Amino acid sequence: MYRIRIDSHHCQGHARCLSFLPETVDFDDEGYAQVPEAKSRHAEMTDALRQAVANCPERAFQVVEE
């Protein structure tokens, strides 16, 4: 199982993650990424997850294996 984590201390709201995971990533009122708990877990490490990790310039979008 893979779980998305957004490092809220480093997210600057670049929104690149949104372009790879439009159904998953949401934003708070200040424009920082957040992922609802119900959408944070994924059975597989998909290309979209890899791309979102690779394209976050702040390294704030992370996927951890559980």
- Strands of the sheet containing 61-65, edge to edge, are 41-42, 2-6, 61-65
Round the CA-based radius of gyration of the chain to a whole number and report it.
11
* 3 contributes a contact to ligand F3S by CB under 6 A: no
* 6 contributes a contact to ligand F3S by CB under 6 A: yes
Measured from the CB of residue 55, what is the shortest distance to ligand F3S in angstroms? 6
* 20 contributes a contact to ligand F3S by CB under 6 A: no
Which amino acid belongs to residue 50? R
* 13 contributes a contact to ligand F3S by CB under 6 A: yes
* 58 contributes a contact to ligand F3S by CB under 6 A: yes
Q: How far apart are CA 21 and CA 50, in angstroms?
A: 10
